[in-house]
Amino acid sequence: MKTVLITGCSSGYGRETARHFHAQGWHVIASMRTPSAEHLPRSERLRVVALDVTDPDSIAAALAASGPIDVLVNNAGIGLFGAFEATPMATVRELFATNTLGVMAMTQAVLPGFRARRSGVIVNVTSSATLAPMPMVAVYTASKAAIEGFTASLAFELAAFGVRVKLVEPGYAPTTRFTSNGAARMDGLVPEAYAPLAERIFAAMGQLGAVTRESDVAEAVWRAANDESERLRFPAGADAVALARSA
């Protein structure tokens, strides 16, 4: 029985991905900053562990508690919507600490075991914001675009050791906690001069007919984790698929 470790499982994509892998018969390690098994299956094949991807000690403790894994899903992330002009650099660093450096730290931590066994899969969840430019998400897009480049290069680097690296690119999902999770840090990030632009963006989002469901992302992560080809990118959701085709 294979084992997957998924970061950011307290809600949204991570939680749904944990459910999906469990339903497929895998052993699942669902990690999150504040451990809670709420809305997750109660099963001997699913464990919840504490993990803060920005804390090296937390990473080491979580991996020690998890034991050998077959797949790492780097899903934990922070959303941000706002004008770059108004975004404090402390907030920029906070986003990169989780969305970029956290992914790199988790990846680096599992690589010795993967390389020694000459097997393993790393699935990095980014965003369709990397596929087409969108205003008011410059910092968020930059943090995710960095992982796109990182993943593409790492896939070549690790192929010789039998380790596969994949990207999952979710589209827009209004049901996720992207906005609510980042509400506090977004205060004041839409100055009056940018308000009309922000209103147009929100209006356009509200008119989207095909959006991404949490199940779309979970299924894309599942396909990526089990894909043995050289395919790198797995857009998730009808809108992300459309963007990927036009990119």
Q: Which residues are catalytic?
A: 140
Helix, strand, coil percent values for the chain (each to nearest 5): 50, 15, 35
Cβ pair 210, 238 in contact under 8 A: yes
Q: Round to whole Å and give the CA distance between 169 and 234.
A: 6
Radius of gyration for the chain, computed over Cα atoms and rounded to the nearest angstrom: 18
DSSP bridge pairs for 27: 3
Give the amino acid at 24: Q
Supply φ then ψ for residue 125, to 5 degrees: -90, 120
Other beta carbons within 10 angstroms of residue 136's beta carbon come to: 20
Cβ pair 233, 169 in contact under 8 A: yes
Could you tell me the end-to-end alpha-carbon distance of the chain, in angstroms, rounded to an integer?
38
List, in order, residues 6 or more apart from 192 with CB less than 8 Å away.
none
Supply φ then ψ for residue 46, to 5 degrees: -130, 125
